[in-house]
Amino acid sequence: MKHILVHLGMGGHTSQVLQLISSMGDKYAYSYLLGDDDKTSEKKIIFPGKIHRVKNPRLMSDRSLLIVLLKMIPASFQLFHVLRRVKPYAVISSGPSLAIPLFWLAKLLGIKTIFIESWVRVHHGSQAGRFCSSAADLFFVQWPSLKNVYPKAVYVGRLS
């Protein structure tokens, strides 16, 4: 059975990823990656699996890109450790910021990556989407207009 590492990113990010997971069903084994400050996503998990928590590099109060980038360094070490321990077949995320180092590390380790751009992004891509698009093996958008932003993306319609 193939193992999928699912990044849950709070709020709408979690809902959209879990919608995709529910359509994939129980033919995969799942593990979950959550930011250490995420207090709600764990309660929404559909299929059982081990939960891994790592330091979230971006808090809502962080306004400086430099601060976020500096915080990604320790998060990247934690993510590398999780990826080496879990050894997933693929990683799925819809952002937010933790997806950036996660996707690039997964790519370096030869792990498949699937990114879902948030349904609230109708005309402009997210920062996480822009940074992850070139590392993603499969990149889903939920609005046809985003095919102009991400030409290699697959339009799938709304997931949540």
CA 98, 103, 104, 105 torsion: positive or negative?
A: positive
In this prediction, residue 68 carries a pLDDT of: 66
* pLDDT given at position 110: 97
In the chain, domain spans? 3-155
Other C-beta atoms lying within 10 Å of the C-beta of residue 124: 10
Please give the pLDDT value at position 61.
Answer: 56
Is the distance from CB of 50 to CB of 41 less than 8 angstroms? no
Going residue by residue through the chain, which has 160 residues, state the pLDDT in tens, using 9 for 90 and above: 999 999 998 766 788 888 888 888 999 999 999 988 888 889 999 899 999 999 887 654 556 667 767 777 888 999 999 999 999 999 999 877 788 899 999 999 999 999 988 655 556 667 777 777 889 999 988 888 878 888 898 888 776 6
pLDDT digits (tens, 9 = 90+) for 14-38: 888 888 888 889 999 999 999 888 8
Chain centre distance of CA 82: 14
**pLDDT given at position 39:** 86
pLDDT at position 154: 85
Element (H, E) at 83: helix 65-86
Give residue 117's pLDDT: 85
| Whole-number pLDDT of residue 97 | 77
CATH for 3-155 (3.30.160.20, 3.40.50.2000, 3.90.550.10, 3.30.360.10):
3.40.50.2000
- Quote the pLDDT of residue 145: 86
Question: How crowded is the C-beta side of 90, counted as CA atoms within 13 Å?
Answer: 16
